[in-house]
Amino acid sequence: MKLGAYTFAWRPDRWTPPDAYRQISSVDTFTSNVVFEYGNKIIGKQIVVEWDWMSAAQFDALDVLYQANVSLVWDLEVVGQPTFTVEIISLNGELFDVTHWDRPFRRKVQMTLLIIDTSLVAWS
């Protein structure tokens, strides 16, 4: 899995599936309800990516991308899966020293990506 030019050293433990969702809204009127359907879409979906544990080096590399405030290509590196243009809208994780190791790790790391474009033309 890649985010921009960075290849994840540790793959995420969990993430929200980047599937299209049905966008629908409704508005009450005086005597009824009006429904607005915008069809299936993926643009604007937030993807939560989580790691139980992560090296501090990987967290620091992701933090550089987060602080840069730029759009990045997120590639799951799965055949048949599109790539997505995303923005990192949050990155959090607890820092502590692990006993018997000489380097720190992060735990409970959570990164939220906002999909702003996709390489796939049509969603079914």
More confident position, 119 or 87: 87
More confident position, 95 or 63: 63
pTM: 0.81
- The per-residue pLDDT for 104 is 81
- The per-residue pLDDT for 123 is 43
For residue 26, pLDDT beyond 60: yes
119 with 82: CB under 8 angstroms? yes
For residue 3, pLDDT beyond 60: yes
